[in-house]
Amino acid sequence: MLKIINNDKSCRPFKVIVGLGLGFSESNKGTKPFGFHDAERMIGKWLESQRISGMTYLPGLLDYNTLEYVNSKGKAVAEPALLYEGEIDPFYCAGISDEKIIKALIELASILAEKLKKTRARVIFCDKLFILGTN
């Protein structure tokens, strides 16, 4: 039988949410939308580069979802989206400050948004929400 092995029982959850649908700019017309595997590769490369350089890296679960919202014209929109989430591991990240974790999450969300041609991304850390955007 497994037993509890962590002394620190505190939980510091995180989420990064980025749409996978193409934005509405003229430069995106005729462009193929990004897929889940594109995002998977981007996150994997980020994790590897963070680990190699000794920076904060945050393993998590990647899931494909649908982002539901209403656009500026009042129309309901369903857009494919990625959700990257996890908890800060007390074994590997115990000494890392919340500020460093937030910085790493914002960096990851910014990289994903830029490469996926999005103007917004969301980062949730514990009880804080950071909406990243170009406006």
* Amino acid, single-letter form, for residue 73: K
pTM over 0.75: yes
CATH of 13-133, one of 3.40.50, 3.30.70, 3.30.420, 1.10.443: 3.30.70
Domain ranges in the chain are: 13-133
Q: Is 125 within 8 Å of 98 (Cβ atoms)?
A: yes
For 1-20, what is the mean pLDDT? 90
In angstroms, the CA 27 to CA 31 distance is 8
Nearest of 93, 15, 10 to residue 57 by alpha carbon: 93
- Whole-number pLDDT of residue 55: 86
Which residues 6+ apart lie within 8 Å of 66 measured at CB?
Answer: 78, 79, 80, 81
- Whole-number pLDDT of residue 93: 78
Q: At 94, is the pLDDT very low, low, confident or very high (cuts 50, 70, 90)?
A: confident
Which has the higher per-residue pLDDT, 97 or 30? 97
Q: Is the predicted pLDDT of residue 15 greater than 60, yes or no?
A: yes
Q: Is the predicted pLDDT of residue 23 greater than 60, yes or no?
A: no
Which has the higher per-residue pLDDT, 96 or 13? 13
